[in-house]
């Protein structure tokens, strides 16, 4: 065997080893994604889906205005809960300061994000000091987090309240994040560009409405925390921030595919969730190629004599739930 032939043979062996490694890596990657998908779709925190069908069609989950509907089983629903842990007493679980229901259609690669006012009035489970169920009352949905002995129980209670508010849709998972962790998340995607929709003299004294800002670190937290007499402007501000963050996050994730899982692992001490790294990898793989829609829950702001309230327009929400979570039977 000549030196040239031997060199050629070694090259072929090397290329074969590299090819096997690539195939193994890709196979392992997709196995991880399938594991993550399976875990998400088979995990349920709240499943109070009510069967509203009547004599017209027993095979339907819902019958409304002469039409039959079934729940869309291609959906993965996750509740994102934001908790500002420095705004409540040490012996309290605090409140859910931000609530977003994220619904991923795994077939259509479409994501709906429902922005929920923290002041929305809905059924909230109350637990005693031992963490045992006591009663359910109509309260601000932000209080659902405060009625829990642990962060996990508080998060699950939020999920139940949101599920009830959305007419019993199943919610697979939750991700509760402490506000201060947002600084690291924003910095990991290179910052978020926003336009001020109002004057924020306390948070940004040198800027005024209409100014464009690149938010990083502590400035992002100040932007999201700032609140005046009403929660409504802040909710709109948070929605605009999320929309811009999604654009930045997509670009960053495409440059570094490991970024979502790395950030998830980094924030373990600043978050509470029933999602694991394989599920995060699956969600990230879907998110980069998905279209995002940020939706509002319609209603009317009010005042109960002590606190601001938000009465949900139940008819509009019902129509929205049918459109977003169900498929009409043909």
Is the sign of the CA dihedral 136, 141, 146, 149 positive or negative?
A: positive
CA-wise closest residue to 194 among 252, 245, 230: 245
Q: What is the mean pLDDT of residues 192-217?
A: 92
SS3 73: coil
Mean pLDDT estimate for the chain: 83
Question: pTM of the entire structure?
Answer: 0.83
* Class of domain 45-328 (CATH, top level): alpha beta
Distance, in Å, from the CA atom of 299 to the CA atom of 317, rounded to the nearest integer, reads: 9
Beta strands in 260-318 (DSSP E): 271-273, 291-296, 299-303, 308-312
Is residue 302 very low, low, confident or very high in pLDDT (cuts 50, 70, 90)? very high
Is residue 74 very low, low, confident or very high in pLDDT (cuts 50, 70, 90)? very high
Residue 121 has pLDDT above 90, yes or no: yes
Is residue 21 very low, low, confident or very high in pLDDT (cuts 50, 70, 90)? very low
Tokens 């498929």 map to which residue? 327
Tokens 């009510």 map to which residue? 50
Strands 291-296 and 110-116, by their bridges, are parallel
pLDDT, tens digit, for every residue of 260-298?
A: 989 999 999 999 999 998 888 888 888 888 899 999 999
Residue 86 has pLDDT above 70, yes or no: no
Residue 89 has pLDDT above 90, yes or no: no
Q: Which residues contact 210 (CB under 8 A, 6 or more apart)?
A: 195, 196
Distance, in Å, from the CA atom of 87 to the CA atom of 98, rounded to the nearest integer, reads: 13
């Amino acid at each position: 065997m000549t030196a040239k032939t031997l060199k050629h043979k070694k090259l072929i062996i090397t290329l074969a080893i590299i090819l096997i490694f690539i195939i193994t890596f890709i196979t392992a990657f997709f196995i991880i994604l399938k594991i993550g998908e399976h875990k998400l779709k088979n995990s349920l925190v709240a499943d109070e889906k009510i069967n509203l069908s009547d004599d017209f069609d027993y095979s339907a989950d819902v019958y409304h205005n002469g039409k039959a509907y079934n729940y869309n089983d291609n959906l993965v629903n996750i509740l994102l809960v934001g908790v500002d842990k420095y705004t409540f007493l040490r012996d309290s679980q605090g409140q859910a300061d931000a609530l977003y229901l994220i619904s991923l259609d795994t077939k259509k690669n479409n994501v709906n994000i429902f922005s929920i006012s923290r002041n929305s009035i809905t059924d909230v489970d109350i637990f005693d000091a031992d963490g045992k169920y006591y009663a359910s009352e109509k309260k601000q949905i932000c209080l659902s987090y405060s009625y829990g002995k642990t962060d996990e129980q508080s998060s699950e209670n939020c999920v139940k309240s949101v599920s009830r508010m959305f007419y019993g849709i199943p919610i697979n998972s939750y991700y509760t994040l402490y506000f201060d962790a947002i600084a690291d998340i924003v910095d990991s995607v290179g910052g978020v560009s926003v336009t001020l929709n109002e004057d924020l003299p306390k948070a940004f004294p040198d800027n005024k409405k209409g100014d464009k800002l690149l938010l990083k670190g502590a400035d992002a937290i100040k932007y999201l925390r700032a609140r005046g007499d009403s929660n409504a402007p802040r909710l709109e501000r948070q929605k605009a921030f999320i929309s811009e963050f999604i654009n930045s996050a997509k670009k960053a994730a495409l440059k570094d595919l490991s970024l979502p899982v790395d950030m998830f692992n980094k924030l373990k001490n600043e978050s509470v969730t029933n999602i694991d790294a394989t599920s995060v990898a699956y969600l990230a793989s879907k998110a980069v190629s998905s279209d995002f829609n940020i939706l509002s829950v319609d209603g009317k702001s009010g005042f109960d004599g002590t606190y601001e309230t938000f009465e949900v327009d139940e008819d509009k929400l019902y129509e929205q739930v049918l459109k977003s979570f169900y498929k009409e039977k043909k």
